Amino acid sequence: MKTLGIIGGMSYESSKLFYELINNRVNDIMGGYHCCKSIMYTVDFDEIVKLQNEEKWAELDLIVADISRKLELAGSDMIVLCTNTLHICSDSIKNSVKIPFLHIGEAVGEEAKKKYIKKAGLLGTKFTMEKDFYKKVLLDKYGIDVVIPGEKDRDTVHDIIFNELVRGHIKESSRNKFIDIIKRLERNGAEGVILGCTEIPTLISEEYVDIPVFDSIRIHAEKAVEWILKD
Protein backbone atom coordinates (compact mmCIF):
# COMPACT_ATOMS: atom_id res chain seq x y z
CA MET A 1 0.00 0.00 0.00
CA LYS A 2 1.26 3.47 -0.91
CA THR A 3 1.06 6.41 1.50
CA LEU A 4 -1.60 9.05 0.80
CA GLY A 5 -0.76 12.71 1.42
CA ILE A 6 -3.85 14.74 2.30
CA ILE A 7 -4.20 18.53 2.35
CA GLY A 8 -7.12 19.02 4.74
CA GLY A 9 -8.88 21.40 7.07
CA MET A 10 -11.13 23.05 4.45
CA SER A 11 -13.24 22.49 6.49
CA TYR A 12 -12.40 20.02 9.24
CA GLU A 13 -15.98 18.72 8.89
CA SER A 14 -15.28 17.46 5.39
CA SER A 15 -11.73 16.35 6.23
CA LYS A 16 -12.90 14.05 9.01
CA LEU A 17 -15.49 12.60 6.61
CA PHE A 18 -12.83 12.06 3.94
CA TYR A 19 -10.55 10.37 6.49
CA GLU A 20 -13.37 8.06 7.53
CA LEU A 21 -14.24 7.26 3.91
CA ILE A 22 -10.71 6.32 2.84
CA ASN A 23 -10.13 4.14 5.89
CA ASN A 24 -13.48 2.37 5.58
CA ARG A 25 -12.82 1.75 1.90
CA VAL A 26 -9.37 0.27 2.52
CA ASN A 27 -10.77 -1.98 5.24
CA ASP A 28 -13.67 -3.08 3.02
CA ILE A 29 -11.19 -4.15 0.34
CA MET A 30 -8.39 -5.60 2.47
CA GLY A 31 -10.24 -6.72 5.60
CA GLY A 32 -8.59 -7.52 8.91
CA TYR A 33 -7.31 -4.45 10.70
CA HIS A 34 -6.16 -2.67 7.57
CA CYS A 35 -6.53 1.10 7.24
CA CYS A 36 -5.13 3.76 4.94
CA LYS A 37 -1.49 4.77 5.35
CA SER A 38 -1.77 8.55 5.24
CA ILE A 39 -0.25 11.87 6.22
CA MET A 40 -2.63 14.81 6.65
CA TYR A 41 -1.58 18.45 6.74
CA THR A 42 -4.45 20.50 8.17
CA VAL A 43 -4.62 24.23 7.45
CA ASP A 44 -6.28 26.95 9.51
CA PHE A 45 -9.40 27.35 7.38
CA ASP A 46 -10.04 30.93 8.52
CA GLU A 47 -6.84 32.05 6.79
CA ILE A 48 -7.84 30.24 3.60
CA VAL A 49 -11.35 31.72 3.56
CA LYS A 50 -10.00 35.27 3.93
CA LEU A 51 -7.61 34.82 1.01
CA GLN A 52 -10.36 33.28 -1.13
CA ASN A 53 -12.74 36.15 -0.41
CA GLU A 54 -9.99 38.61 -1.32
CA GLU A 55 -9.32 36.64 -4.55
CA LYS A 56 -5.66 36.26 -3.57
CA TRP A 57 -5.17 33.08 -5.55
CA ALA A 58 -1.43 33.61 -6.05
CA GLU A 59 -0.92 33.55 -2.28
CA LEU A 60 -3.03 30.40 -2.04
CA ASP A 61 -0.91 28.86 -4.82
CA LEU A 62 2.18 29.38 -2.66
CA ILE A 63 0.50 27.90 0.43
CA VAL A 64 -0.67 24.67 -1.21
CA ALA A 65 2.62 24.28 -3.08
CA ASP A 66 4.55 24.55 0.19
CA ILE A 67 2.26 22.03 1.89
CA SER A 68 2.59 19.63 -1.04
CA ARG A 69 6.38 19.71 -0.83
CA LYS A 70 6.19 19.00 2.91
CA LEU A 71 3.91 16.02 2.30
CA GLU A 72 6.27 14.68 -0.36
CA LEU A 73 9.28 15.07 1.94
CA ALA A 74 7.35 13.36 4.74
CA GLY A 75 6.96 10.25 2.59
CA SER A 76 3.69 10.64 0.70
CA ASP A 77 3.44 8.71 -2.56
CA MET A 78 0.56 10.80 -3.93
CA ILE A 79 -1.43 13.88 -2.94
CA VAL A 80 -5.11 14.72 -2.69
CA LEU A 81 -6.58 18.11 -1.90
CA CYS A 82 -9.52 17.52 0.42
CA THR A 83 -11.68 20.34 -0.90
CA ASN A 84 -13.23 21.35 -4.23
CA THR A 85 -12.72 25.12 -4.33
CA LEU A 86 -8.98 25.18 -3.82
CA HIS A 87 -8.51 22.99 -6.89
CA ILE A 88 -8.22 26.36 -8.58
CA CYS A 89 -4.62 26.03 -7.32
CA SER A 90 -4.13 22.49 -8.62
CA ASP A 91 -1.46 23.47 -11.18
CA SER A 92 0.72 24.86 -8.40
CA ILE A 93 0.54 21.49 -6.62
CA LYS A 94 1.41 19.53 -9.77
CA ASN A 95 4.35 21.84 -10.49
CA SER A 96 5.76 21.70 -6.96
CA VAL A 97 6.12 17.92 -6.50
CA LYS A 98 7.20 14.84 -8.42
CA ILE A 99 4.52 12.55 -6.98
CA PRO A 100 1.04 12.19 -8.56
CA PHE A 101 -1.83 14.53 -7.70
CA LEU A 102 -5.43 13.30 -7.99
CA HIS A 103 -7.76 16.09 -9.19
CA ILE A 104 -11.23 15.82 -7.70
CA GLY A 105 -12.84 17.03 -10.95
CA GLU A 106 -11.19 14.18 -12.87
CA ALA A 107 -12.43 11.62 -10.36
CA VAL A 108 -15.98 13.03 -10.63
CA GLY A 109 -15.77 13.28 -14.41
CA GLU A 110 -14.81 9.62 -14.76
CA GLU A 111 -17.77 8.56 -12.61
CA ALA A 112 -20.25 10.79 -14.45
CA LYS A 113 -19.03 9.51 -17.81
CA LYS A 114 -19.70 5.93 -16.68
CA LYS A 115 -23.36 6.93 -16.28
CA TYR A 116 -23.43 8.59 -19.73
CA ILE A 117 -24.03 12.06 -18.28
CA LYS A 118 -23.74 14.74 -20.97
CA LYS A 119 -24.96 17.71 -18.93
CA ALA A 120 -24.57 18.07 -15.18
CA GLY A 121 -25.62 20.60 -12.59
CA LEU A 122 -22.81 21.86 -10.36
CA LEU A 123 -23.28 22.98 -6.75
CA GLY A 124 -20.46 24.37 -4.66
CA THR A 125 -19.02 27.61 -3.40
CA LYS A 126 -19.50 30.63 -5.66
CA PHE A 127 -15.85 30.24 -6.69
CA THR A 128 -16.42 26.66 -7.85
CA MET A 129 -19.69 27.44 -9.62
CA GLU A 130 -18.61 30.67 -11.29
CA LYS A 131 -14.97 30.06 -12.25
CA ASP A 132 -13.83 27.68 -15.00
CA PHE A 133 -11.24 25.51 -13.24
CA TYR A 134 -13.74 22.73 -12.45
CA LYS A 135 -16.10 23.10 -15.41
CA LYS A 136 -13.22 23.10 -17.89
CA VAL A 137 -11.93 19.73 -16.64
CA LEU A 138 -15.40 18.19 -16.99
CA LEU A 139 -15.92 19.56 -20.50
CA ASP A 140 -12.43 19.16 -21.97
CA LYS A 141 -11.65 15.71 -20.56
CA TYR A 142 -15.08 14.09 -20.31
CA GLY A 143 -17.35 16.02 -22.69
CA ILE A 144 -19.71 17.02 -19.87
CA ASP A 145 -21.44 20.39 -20.16
CA VAL A 146 -22.08 22.11 -16.84
CA VAL A 147 -25.12 24.12 -15.81
CA ILE A 148 -24.99 26.24 -12.66
CA PRO A 149 -27.78 27.84 -10.60
CA GLY A 150 -28.93 31.41 -11.16
CA GLU A 151 -27.30 34.22 -9.19
CA LYS A 152 -29.76 34.19 -6.29
CA ASP A 153 -29.51 30.41 -5.95
CA ARG A 154 -25.71 30.60 -6.09
CA ASP A 155 -25.79 33.07 -3.19
CA THR A 156 -28.05 30.72 -1.24
CA VAL A 157 -25.80 27.69 -1.80
CA HIS A 158 -22.65 29.66 -0.89
CA ASP A 159 -24.20 31.10 2.28
CA ILE A 160 -25.46 27.73 3.51
CA ILE A 161 -22.03 26.19 2.96
CA PHE A 162 -20.13 28.82 4.92
CA ASN A 163 -22.68 29.73 7.59
CA GLU A 164 -23.97 26.23 8.33
CA LEU A 165 -22.29 23.21 6.75
CA VAL A 166 -18.65 24.02 7.53
CA ARG A 167 -19.76 24.43 11.17
CA GLY A 168 -21.54 21.08 11.17
CA HIS A 169 -25.04 22.64 11.27
CA ILE A 170 -27.59 20.65 9.27
CA LYS A 171 -31.00 22.28 8.80
CA GLU A 172 -34.06 20.78 7.16
CA SER A 173 -35.00 24.21 5.78
CA SER A 174 -31.63 24.42 4.01
CA ARG A 175 -32.02 20.91 2.63
CA ASN A 176 -35.36 21.95 1.13
CA LYS A 177 -33.72 24.98 -0.50
CA PHE A 178 -31.10 22.72 -2.09
CA ILE A 179 -33.79 20.34 -3.32
CA ASP A 180 -35.60 23.23 -5.00
CA ILE A 181 -32.36 24.46 -6.59
CA ILE A 182 -31.59 21.00 -7.95
CA LYS A 183 -35.09 20.79 -9.44
CA ARG A 184 -34.46 24.06 -11.26
CA LEU A 185 -31.14 22.70 -12.57
CA GLU A 186 -33.00 19.62 -13.80
CA ARG A 187 -35.49 21.83 -15.65
CA ASN A 188 -32.49 23.53 -17.27
CA GLY A 189 -31.30 20.22 -18.68
CA ALA A 190 -29.14 18.73 -15.93
CA GLU A 191 -29.12 14.93 -16.15
CA GLY A 192 -27.30 14.65 -12.83
CA VAL A 193 -25.98 16.94 -10.11
CA ILE A 194 -22.41 17.22 -8.86
CA LEU A 195 -22.05 18.02 -5.17
CA GLY A 196 -18.94 20.07 -5.83
CA CYS A 197 -18.31 21.07 -2.25
CA THR A 198 -17.09 18.49 0.21
CA GLU A 199 -19.59 19.59 2.87
CA ILE A 200 -22.74 19.39 0.73
CA PRO A 201 -23.10 15.57 1.03
CA THR A 202 -23.79 16.07 4.74
CA LEU A 203 -27.02 17.77 3.64
CA ILE A 204 -28.03 16.21 0.30
CA SER A 205 -27.94 12.67 -1.07
CA GLU A 206 -29.63 10.75 -3.88
CA GLU A 207 -32.63 9.92 -1.69
CA TYR A 208 -33.78 13.54 -1.83
CA VAL A 209 -33.72 14.13 -5.60
CA ASP A 210 -34.83 12.48 -8.83
CA ILE A 211 -31.57 12.62 -10.81
CA PRO A 212 -28.19 10.94 -10.19
CA VAL A 213 -26.09 12.59 -7.49
CA PHE A 214 -22.30 12.66 -7.74
CA ASP A 215 -20.88 12.95 -4.25
CA SER A 216 -17.48 14.50 -4.93
CA ILE A 217 -15.91 13.64 -1.58
CA ARG A 218 -16.92 9.97 -1.72
CA ILE A 219 -15.87 9.61 -5.36
CA HIS A 220 -12.54 11.34 -4.63
CA ALA A 221 -11.89 9.11 -1.60
CA GLU A 222 -12.67 5.90 -3.50
CA LYS A 223 -10.46 6.88 -6.43
CA ALA A 224 -7.63 7.77 -4.03
CA VAL A 225 -7.87 4.34 -2.44
CA GLU A 226 -7.81 2.75 -5.88
CA TRP A 227 -4.59 4.61 -6.59
CA ILE A 228 -2.79 3.74 -3.35
CA LEU A 229 -3.70 0.05 -3.62
CA LYS A 230 -2.74 -0.28 -7.29
CA ASP A 231 0.18 -2.66 -7.94
For 105-215, CATH gives: 3.40.50.1860
pTM above 0.75, yes or no: yes
Q: Which CATH class is domain 4-104+219-229?
A: alpha beta
Alpha carbon 154 to chain centroid, angstroms: 17
The backbone torsions φ and ψ at residue 140, rounded to the nearest 5 degrees and listed phi first, read -70, -40
**What is the structure's pLDDT at 22?**
97
Q: Name the 3-class secondary structure at 2.
A: coil
Domain range summary for the chain, segments of one domain joined by +: 4-104+219-229, 105-215
pLDDT score for 56: 96
pLDDT score, position 177: 96
Give the residue numbers annotated as catalytic, written as ranges. Answer: 83, 197
Which residue, among 61, 68, 122, 55, has the nearest Cα to 97 in the 3D structure?
68
Give the model's pLDDT for residue 198. Answer: 85
Q: Listing from the earlier edge strand, what are the strands of the sheet with 192-195?
A: 145-147, 119-123, 192-195, 213-215
In the prediction, which pLDDT does 143 show?
96
Residue 150 to residues 35, 181, 186, Cα–Cα distance (Å): 42, 9, 13
The SS3 assignment for 56 reads coil
Measured CA to CA, the distance from residue 73 to residue 50 in angstroms comes to 28
Query: Which portions of the chain are predicted below pLDDT 50?
Result: none
- Rounded to whole angstroms, the Cα distance separating 103 from 157 reads 23
